[in-house]
Amino acid sequence: MVDFVITSNSPVQGCIGIDINPGSIGWCTTNHHGNPIGWGKINLDLHSCSTEQTEARLAVAITEITSRALATKKPIVIEKLDFSSKKKLFLRGRKYNRMLSGFAYAKFFELLKSRCLKLGIQVIEVSPKYSSQIGVVKYMRRYGMGSDSSAALVIARRGMRIYHERLLARYAFQTSVRPEARKHVFAHWQRFNKYYLKVGSRNAWFSSPNLTGSTSDSSVNTVRTINKVVKRTSKA
């Protein structure tokens, strides 16, 4: 019988978050404050691949992830495997749904967990709920990250039990989402998500001048006025 010993440091010292998408895997490494100290994405083209080719390409991606975890002695944080809820949280189209229901998605986590066990790397599973939206709104522009890496940052922070995930006031104003007393933070993200999905892609929404998907001057001026009010309120 082989005993596997976990050699990773405690999650409170930082983690590596993973966000899997069609065609790529976003990752982000955090320090003990939960701030990003490294991020990127691993291209993963599995289109028209056989089972053997899929497993081989997944193995290459997993080797890169686990090598980084070994070098930094950080646990790896992944999303809990839940096909049905994952589809409901962020409807990314047929390509994304095929990935969720297909062989590759489940196989990736199976191979990753197996390799981490052999290497002594701790694996932490967290809910991926609204991680894409939270990442885009709170971290993408702030750190100059891609949308996949910003989602991975949210997942990493959840692995550290850091949950500062309130919807920022300026986005609540812009999307008519109003904070309401005694409601879970996800209730606000759920309302925001209904607006967010009407705009299109994450990058298209966030790259617009007014952060609403619209480029009209009136919208831009409205947002500027709102932001000034928010700043004055925060200073008061």
Q: Which two tokens stand for residue 214?
A: 């619209």
Residues 68 and 119 in one domain: yes
Per DSSP, the chain holds a count of helices (H) and strands (E) of: 11, 5
- Same domain? For 27 and 103 the reply is yes
129, two tokens: 């709920």
What domain count does the chain have? Answer: 2
Asked if residue 154 belongs to a domain, the reply is yes
pLDDT of residue 11: 95
Q: In the numeric block, which tokens belong to residue 89?
A: 């949280």
Identify the bridge partners of residue 43 per DSSP, sorted by sequence position: 24
CA 48 to centroid of chain Cα atoms: 26
* Residue 220 belongs to a domain: yes
Q: What is the pLDDT of residue 219?
A: 42
Structure tokens at 174: 């812009």
Give residue 1's pLDDT.
Answer: 47
- The whole-number pLDDT of residue 105 equals 82
Report how far residue 208's alpha carbon sits from residue 1's, in angstroms, rounded to the nearest whole number: 57
Question: CATH no. for residue 96?
Answer: 3.30.420.10
Token match 């053997």: residue? 52
**Residue showing tokens 């109003």:** 178
Residues 82 and 140 in one domain: yes
Residue that the structure tokens 């890169």 belong to: 64
Residue 202 within any structural domain of the chain: yes
Asked if 32 and 142 sit in the same domain, the reply is: yes
Running DSSP on this structure, what letter comes out for residue 13? Answer: G
Structure tokens at 13: 């010292």
Whether residue 66 is contained in a domain is answered as yes
Q: What is the pTM of this model?
A: 0.75
User: What local confidence, expressed as pLDDT, does residue 137 receive?
Assistant: 85
Residue 50: which domain range?
11-159
Strands 16-21 and 23-30: antiparallel
Position 123 scores a pLDDT of: 97
Domain-located, residue 6: no
Distance CA 205, CA 137 (A): 10
Please check whether residues 61 and 112 belong to one and the same domain: yes
What local confidence, expressed as pLDDT, does residue 234 receive?
41
Structure tokens at 90: 């962020």
Could you tell me if residue 4 is inside a domain? no
| Residue 199 vs residues 31, 78, 186: alpha-carbon distances, Å | 33, 28, 20
pLDDT digits (tens), the chain, 236 positions = 456 677 889 999 999 999 998 789 999 999 999 999 999 999 988 877 888 998 999 999 999 999 999 999 999 999 987 655 555 544 455 555 555 556 788 889 999 999 999 999 999 999 988 898 889 888 998 999 999 999 999 999 999 999 877 776 666 655 555 555 445 566 666 666 666 555 555 555 555 545 544 444 444 443 444 344 444 434 44
User: Is 5 within a domain?
Assistant: no
Classify residue 186 as exposed, middle or buried by CB count within 10 Å of its CB (0-12, 13-18, 19+).
middle
> 3-state DSSP call for residue 34?
coil
